[in-house]
């Protein structure tokens, strides 16, 4: 199915190759995990398999031969490769072409000429399956990162490709969504689909995988069969920088009140704090996505914000930092703050950190963040996050995990009173998880109010002091959404 022979790839302006003499063969129907430290070449290897290297990333240097389904990818049109493959990026909003769930599911099938009646049938089934964890009637941009990821997986498989490529598919998913992802992948494997997953979290796939390939510096370092992988002890995974078994985290509960609060209390019983939210209501796409009577956060502590995908965690972050409209009052040190004042008082690490990179070098990015502050030693922060040797690199040339650490470093030097980390360990390996948690702790020790949104129990065990759990909204009926989507597709056919 896949044959990569003596392949090297160097991104433009990069001093070192991202892939070095890579040799890899994957048989039809095989389930393979690519793992390794951030920057080891996992995502780049996926781009070889779906043809994005060299057809989209066309300014680099490629040597060697990549064959997928009998086609040499460098000599084959990208749409022919796309018919054979489905890809799910780590940040799926980058791959959406429409603004609704049904239309996104239909998009690839329409482009590949699937019969209209077949498209309608597949969309109806897919939307019904998605509705358990996704409000399928909402606009895509209003969904949470984890919900967008679930839609992207459905859309990538709707045209029934023979090869499915996934880049960190569990990174933004709650535990229940990971279980649904595992069931979906098991079904696809049973149908004979070849599956390649680049991942840091491995154990949830151990009953599905056929081979685990550990990459280091752009080459294959270690290879395990399924039986060998299941026998690998956690300390050996740790030596390879890989994630192992995740222990459940039990943290003290932050007292809070409101319909969106799991286990909420009476609002009058909520203690005071430096950051207080009262009567917060937010609606998106006609739905109430967050409804809070009262919360108070204390300075110097890290509060974990937990809950299933779509419970309103990122919406809460945007409200606190002045990036989302809502009703209600937000007070800092007893003073009510409008949206602009909250923006000036806040810093945030978003799920898709590429949207927060503005300069032409790592060092310049840190200098920009520290422009109006008495920043701590920036060189020490870069060294702690393993970025010192990359100081002159363009931020967009870094791997996803390296970009994540760069934005964490920028937030660390910004010196804001309110700091929100939204899934900061997405795409981060085991070794760098510790350094990120150390920086989060130090932000709190500097006296900031820190909110940590994460599904990553490994990170929460290292960084969080207490937790606030949000509950999800009631899902909307699926029938109306499917009917509306069908009418929309029918009207397009008549135009």
pLDDT, position 379: 82
pLDDT, position 376: 60
Taking Cα atoms as reference points, which of 152, 163, 159 lies closest to residue 118? 159
pLDDT at 477 over 60: no
Contacts of 288 (CB under 8 A, 6+ apart): 281, 282, 473
Banded model confidence at residue 494, pLDDT cuts 50, 70, 90? very low
pLDDT at 385 over 70: yes
Strand partners, 449: 418
Banded model confidence at residue 444, pLDDT cuts 50, 70, 90? very high
Q: Which residue has the higher pLDDT, 415 or 371?
A: 415
Tokens 């759990």, located at residue: 469
Q: What does the radius of gyration of the chain's CA atoms come to, in whole angstroms?
A: 23
Least reliable range by pLDDT among 158-167, 197-206, 333-342: 197-206
pLDDT, position 254: 97
Average pLDDT over residues 478-488: 55
Average pLDDT over residues 164-172: 91
Q: Is the dihedral of CA 25, 19, 232, 150 positive or negative?
A: negative
pLDDT at 409 over 60: yes
What is the C-alpha separation between 447 and 279, in angstroms, rounded? 26
Produce one character per residue of 386-395: b if its CB has 16 or more CB atoms within 10 Å, e if not. Answer: bbeebbebbb
pLDDT at 335 over 50: yes
Three-state secondary structure readout of the chain: CEEEEEEEEECCCCCCCCEEEEEEEECCCCEEEEEECCCCCHHHHHHHHCCHHHHCCCCCEEEEEEEECCEEHHHCCHHHHHHHEEEECCCHHHHCCCCEHHHHHHHHHHHCCCCHHHHHHHHHHHHHHHCCCCCCCCEHHHCCHHHHHHHHHHHHHCCCCCEEEEECCCCCCCHHHHHHHHHHHHHHHHCCCEEEEECCCCHHHCCCCCEEEEEECCEEEEEEEHHHHHHCCHHHHHHCCCCCCCCCCCCCECCEECCCECCCCCHHHCCCCCEEEEEEEEEECCEEEEEEEEEEECCCCEEEEECCCCCCHHHHHHHHCCCCCCEEEEEECCEECCHHHHHHHEEEECCCHHHHCCCCCHHHHHHHHCCCCCCCCHHHHHHHCCCHHHCCCCHHHCCHHHHHHHHHHHHHHHCCCEEEEECCCCCCCHHHHHHHHHHHHHHHHCCCEEEEECCCHHHHHHHCCEEEEECCCCCCCHHHHHHHHHHHHHHHHHC
pLDDT, position 65: 97
Taking Cα atoms as reference points, which of 302, 308, 301, 305 lies closest to residue 318? 305
Question: To 5 degrees, how large is the angle CA 231–CA 235–CA 236?
Answer: 60
pLDDT, position 495: 40
Banded model confidence at residue 374, pLDDT cuts 50, 70, 90? low
Q: What residue ranges define each of the domains in the chain, with the CATH number in brackets?
A: 2-243 (3.40.50.300), 256-464 (3.40.50.300)
Tokens 């429409």, located at residue: 98
Average pLDDT over residues 422-427: 86
Average pLDDT over residues 419-440: 89
Banded model confidence at residue 357, pLDDT cuts 50, 70, 90? very high
Average pLDDT over residues 322-344: 97
In this structure, are residues 18 and 10 in contact, taking their beta carbons and an 8 Å threshold? yes
Banded model confidence at residue 474, pLDDT cuts 50, 70, 90? very low
* pLDDT tens digits, 37-46: 888 999 999 9
pLDDT, position 420: 97
% of the chain residues with pLDDT over 90: 68
Banded model confidence at residue 452, pLDDT cuts 50, 70, 90? very high
Banded model confidence at residue 478, pLDDT cuts 50, 70, 90? low
Q: 10 Å Cβ neighbour count for 272? A: 9
Average pLDDT over residues 137-161: 91
pLDDT at 278 over 70: yes
What is the C-alpha separation between 216 and 64, in angstroms, rounded? 19
pLDDT, position 400: 81
Banded model confidence at residue 484, pLDDT cuts 50, 70, 90? low
* pLDDT tens digits, 234-258: 888 888 888 887 667 789 999 999 9
What is the C-alpha separation between 170 and 174, in angstroms, rounded? 8
pLDDT, position 487: 55
pLDDT, position 318: 95
Taking Cα atoms as reference points, which of 154, 207, 149, 173 lies closest to residue 31? 207
* pLDDT tens digits, 212-222: 999 999 999 99
* pLDDT tens digits, 54-69: 999 888 999 999 999 9
Taking Cα atoms as reference points, which of 495, 421, 493, 427 lies closest to residue 463? 421
For the chain, the average pLDDT equals: 90
Give the pair of three-digit tokens for residue 349. Answer: 């690490």
């Amino acid at each position: 199915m896949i044959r990569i022979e003596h392949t090297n790839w160097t991104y433009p302006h990069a001093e070192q190759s991202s892939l070095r003499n890579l040799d890899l063969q994957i048989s039809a129907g095989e389930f393979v995990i690519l793992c390794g430290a951030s920057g080891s070449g996992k995502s780049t290897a996926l781009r070889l398999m779906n043809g994005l290297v060299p057809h989209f990333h066309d300014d680099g240097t490629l040597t060697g031969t990549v064959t997928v389904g009998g086609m040499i990818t460098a000599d084959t049109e990208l749409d022919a490769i796309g018919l054979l493959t489905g890809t799910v990026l780590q940040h799926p909003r980058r791959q959406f072409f429409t603004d609704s769930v049904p239309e996104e599911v239909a998009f690839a099938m329409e482009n590949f000429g699937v019969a209209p009646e077949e498209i309608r049938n597949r969309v109806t089934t897919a939307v019904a399956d998605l509705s358990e964890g996704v409000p399928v009637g909402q606009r895509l941009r209003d969904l949470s990162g984890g919900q967008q990821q679930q839609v992207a997986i459905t859309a990538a498989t709707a045209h029934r490709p023979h090869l499915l490529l996934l880049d960190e598919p569990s990174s933004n998913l709650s535990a229940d969504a990971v279980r649904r992802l595992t069931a979906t992948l098991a079904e696809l494997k049973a149908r004979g689909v070849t599956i390649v997953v680049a991942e840091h979290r491995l154990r949830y796939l151990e009953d599905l995988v056929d081979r685990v390939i550990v990459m280091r510096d752009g080459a294959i370092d270690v290879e395990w069969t399924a039986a060998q992988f299941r026998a690998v002890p956690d300390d050996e995974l740790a030596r390879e920088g890989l994630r192992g078994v995740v222990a459940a985290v039990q943290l003290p509960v932050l007292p809070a009140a409101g319909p969106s609060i799991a286990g909420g209390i009476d609002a009058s019983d909520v203690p005071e704090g430096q950051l207080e939210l009262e009567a917060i209501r937010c609606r998106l796409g006609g739905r109430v996505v967050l409804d809070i009577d009262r919360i108070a956060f204390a300075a110097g502590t890290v509060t974990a914000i937990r809950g299933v995908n779509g419970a309103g965690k990122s919406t809460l972050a945007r409200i606190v930092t002045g990036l989302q409209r809502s009703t209600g009052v937000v007070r800092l040190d007893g003073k009510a703050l409008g949206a602009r004042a909250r923006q000036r008082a806040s810093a945030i690490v978003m799920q898709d950190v590429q949207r927060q990179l503005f300069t032409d070098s790592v060092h310049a990015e840190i200098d920009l963040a520290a422009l109006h502050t008495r920043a701590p030693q920036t060189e020490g922060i870069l060294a702690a996050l393993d970025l010192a040797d990359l100081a002159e690199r363009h931020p967009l040339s870094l791997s996803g995990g390296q970009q994540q650490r760069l934005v964490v470093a920028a937030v660390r030097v910004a010196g804001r009173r309110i700091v929100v980390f939204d899934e900061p360990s997405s795409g981060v390996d085991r070794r760098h998880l510790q350094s990120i948690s150390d920086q989060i702790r130090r932000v709190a020790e500097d006296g900031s109010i820190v909110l940590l949104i994460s599904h990553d129990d490994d990170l929460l065990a290292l960084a969080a002091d207490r937790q606030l759990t949000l509950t999800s909204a009631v899902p909307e009926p699926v029938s109306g959404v499917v009917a509306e989507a069908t009418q929309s597709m029918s009207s397009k056919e008549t135009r």
